[in-house]
Amino acid sequence: MLAGGTAKDSLVPPLLPRWSERLQLAVERFGGECSDPEIERLTQVAKQQDCDVVVGMGGGKVIDTAKSVGCQIGARVGVVPTIASTDAPTSAVAVIYTPEGVFFRLEAA
């Protein structure tokens, strides 16, 4: 699971024990930008963890990153939006930024 700061700090901790009873789960904090370096970092984590599902919990950048990581490793992707103003959960496109937060490109996810 890839989680934004608020999700990782507030939403995940009370649920983690129950989830861990049912499945193998690794939770990784999102680095803040849906950028190539972050996607590459999380793709390596997902490969090391042998993930078959990537879940993005948070806002649009977290979800777009999860979609990109899932595509990179050929995994299913689940999304848990924590903000209502994003269309990332319904889109097959990921918006990729530079590490500094400047729009870089669109990527089919």
Give per-residue pLDDT as tens, 77-108: 999 999 877 788 888 899 999 999 999 999 99
Please give the structure tokens belonging to residue 56: 């993005």
Which pTM value belongs to this model? 0.92
Question: 56: which residues sit within 8 A by CB, 6+ positions away?
Answer: 1, 2, 3, 62, 63, 64, 65, 66, 67, 77, 78, 79, 80
Q: Give the dihedral sign, CA 68/69/73/79.
A: negative
Check if CATH label 3.90.45.10 holds for domain 2-108.
no
Give per-residue pLDDT as tens, 54-83: 999 999 999 999 999 999 999 999 999 998
